[in-house]
Structure 1
Amino acid sequence: MIEFKNVTKKYANDITATDNISVKIKTGEFVYVVGPSGAGKSTFIKMMYREEVPTSGEIKVNKYELENIKSREVPYLRRELGIVFQDFKLLPRLTIFENIAYALQVIEKTPEEVTERVNRVLELVNLVDKKNNFPTELSGGEQQRIAIARAIANQPSILIADEPTGNLDPETAEEIMDILERINQGGTTVVMATHNSYIVNEYKHRVIEINSGRIIRDEEGGVYSNEKANV
């Protein structure tokens, strides 16, 4: 569960990224966060995993109250989250298997657990045959599928995806969405920031639209129009 209460984020240059936002995302939901560039989407997303800290207001993610969380507790918060970025953030000198395994080794999983979980998530994204390749040997779509596999290897309760289809062609974007749908159907909460109106309108879920730092719309199965979207 994610809950924002009267959350405002102001930057040093007096830009207000989010303005008194209040919203609740329930366990198991799939939610799109949409809006134009500069609307505050990324800040809204980053505050969920405490990459950004609000200027005022309250944020609760699962059992953690983020306005009161101590720095040493942040890694434990993030263990409950999976995070997928538009630019993949794979480690180029590690194989695909090693990239996913690294995320598990950091939290001290046994070698047997690491191997079992890596193979399981590679099966989910249909890339078992690529586990000994390096990231540069994969297409953009394959790299994004690996990034998703890495994000869910620790079985997070919440998956946060920031523009996961932004650099992908339409067919590959649909493949990524099919994977995210399966993850959500397994009980994982999915929060996805996107500009892609085709995806939002084709794969119906709750839509939270942000503009000028405020939530201007929040509706189940809402449509989205963006003339600059990938279609």
Structure 2
Amino acid sequence: MIEFKHVSKKYANQITAVDNFNLKIQQGEFVYVIGPSGAGKSTFIKMMYREEKPTLGQIKVNEYELEKIKNSKIPFFRRELGIVFQDFKLLSKLTVFENIAYALQVIEKDPVEIKKRVNHVLKLVKLVSKGAAFPAELSGGEQQRVAIARAIANKPSILIADEPTGNLDPETAEGIMKILEKINIQGTTVVMATHNSHIVNEFRHRVIEIENGHVIRDQDEGSFFQDEASNF
């Protein structure tokens, strides 16, 4: 599903953000990406949806070879992905329903199918009653649930979540995690970058730990810390 082979990324300022990554994420996995700020997590995540291009190495996501993909093909590749950001990125002048529908309208889905799909994902994230509301009328947790609903509206094979619980209180964050796990159980691969140690320890999944541009741990059912002495 996702494969990195000897992948490195060096920026113009000569900072090496990612150094010789080799890893595979199989279809249906739930994977945390953890590490301190500046470790290379964001670069790793951005390369996965071709926001950044590797300096060296090969990246394969589904059947796409991302280091070779033409710019004209990137929008079609991204249709197979759902991406959730920490700051939600909702359109303020559109209602909840319209925000989710917009993601399907841009890929020219049938209007009847759009309505059916939007109602389905609103039910999944428990926001059916908020369809006519605007983002400013929602709590942070509700806005994040809308962002998740929008990301999964097109039935992506992979959901990439960059700090989806970062600005949320613990109870709301746990609610978001339960939604992400439900999506994963239904077959979607989930890759989630996070600093939230409680979430990683409470909802156990594979952990990929990055530090100084290197993968220093890749552990099934891992915890946030490698052991009690570990710390950043």
**TM-score band w.r.t. shorter chain:** over 0.9
Distance 1:182 1:170, change over 3 A: same
Count of matched residue pairs:
228
Amino acid in the other structure paired with 1:61: V
Q: Does 1:57 align with 2:57?
A: yes
Q: Does 1:179 align with 2:179?
A: yes
Any idea what SS the aligned residue of 1:92 has?
coil
Any idea what SS the aligned residue of 2:223 has?
coil
Amino acid in the other structure paired with 1:188: T
Q: In 2, distance between residues paired with 1:76 and 1:185?
A: 25
The residue aligned with 1:36 is 36
Task: Please give the per-residue CA displacement for 1:34-67, whole angstroms capped at 9, x wherever unaligned.
Answer: 0000000000000010001110100000000001
The residue aligned with 2:104 is 104
Correspondence list, 1:199-210, <5 A: 199-210=199-210
Q: In 1, distance between residues paired with 2:22 and 2:77?
A: 21
Give the TM-score of the pair, scaled to structure 2. 0.97
Amino acid in the other structure paired with 1:24: K
Task: Please give the per-residue CA displacement for 1:140-189, whole angstroms capped at 9, x wherever unaligned.
Answer: 00000000000000000000000000000000000000000000000000
Q: In 2, distance between residues paired with 1:77 and 1:167?
A: 29
Give the TM-score of the pair, scaled to structure 1. 0.97
Structure 2 gap ranges (5+): none
Any idea what SS the aligned residue of 1:160 has?
strand
Amino acid in the other structure paired with 2:94: L
Correspondence list, 1:1-231, <5 A: 1-225=1-225
Q: In 2, distance between residues paired with 1:51 and 1:224?
A: 27
Q: In 2, distance between residues paired with 1:126 and 1:54?
A: 38
Any idea what SS the aligned residue of 1:217 has?
strand
Residue 208 of structure 1: CA displacement? 0.2
Residue 227 of structure 1: CA displacement? 6.8
Identity across aligned pairs (percent)? Answer: 74
Which 4+ residue blocks in structure 1 deviate beyond 6 angstroms? none
Structure 1 gap ranges (5+): none
| RMSD between superposed Cα atoms in Å | 1.0
Task: Please give the per-residue CA displacement for 1:186-206, whole angstroms capped at 9, x wherever unaligned.
Answer: 000000000001000000000
